[in-house]
A and B are shown apart, each in its own frame.
Chain A
Amino acid sequence: DADVTQTPRNRITKTGKRIMLECSQTKGHDRMYWYRQDPGLGLRLIYYSFDVKDINKGEISDGYSVSRQAQAKFSLSLESAIPNQTALYFCATSDNLPVKGEQFFGPGTRLTVL
Chain B
Amino acid sequence: DAKTTQPPSMDCAEGRAANLPCNHSTISGNEYVYWYRQIHSQGPQYIIHGLKNNETNEMASLIITEDRKSSTLILPHATLRDTAVYYCIVRGSGNTPLVFGKGTRLSVIA
Contacts and interface: CB of A to CB of B under 8 A. Distances in A.
A binds B: yes
Interface of A: 4, 33, 35, 40-45, 48, 50, 58-59, 88, 90, 92, 98-108, 110
Nearest to B36: A103
Interface residues on B, range: 20 to 34
Given A58-B97, A105-B45, 8 more contacts: A33-B97, A43-B100, A45-B99, A59-B99, A99-B93, A101-B34, A103-B46, A107-B42
Contact of A43 (B42, B44, B49, B95): B44
Interface in B29-49: 32, 34, 36, 41-46, 49
Interface of B: 32, 34, 36, 41-46, 49, 87, 91, 93-95, 97-103
User: Closest 5 interchain pairs by CB?
Assistant: A105-B43, A42-B100, A43-B100, A102-B46, A42-B102
B98 A103 contact: yes
A4 B42 CA distance: 12
Q: Is the interface of B mostly helix, strand, loop or mixed?
A: loop
A100 B100 CA distance: 17
B48 to A, nearest CB: 10
Contacts of B103: 42
19 contacts: A35-B100, A41-B102, A42-B100, A43-B100, A44-B100, A45-B97, A90-B43, A90-B44, A99-B32, A100-B49, A101-B32, A101-B49, A101-B91, A103-B44, A103-B46, A105-B43, A105-B44, A105-B45, A108-B42
A99 B46 CA distance: 14
Contacts of A35: 100
Nearest to B98: A103
Contacts of B100: 35, 42-44
A42 B101 contact: yes
A92 B34 CA distance: 16
Contacts of B45: 105
B25 to A, nearest CB: 19
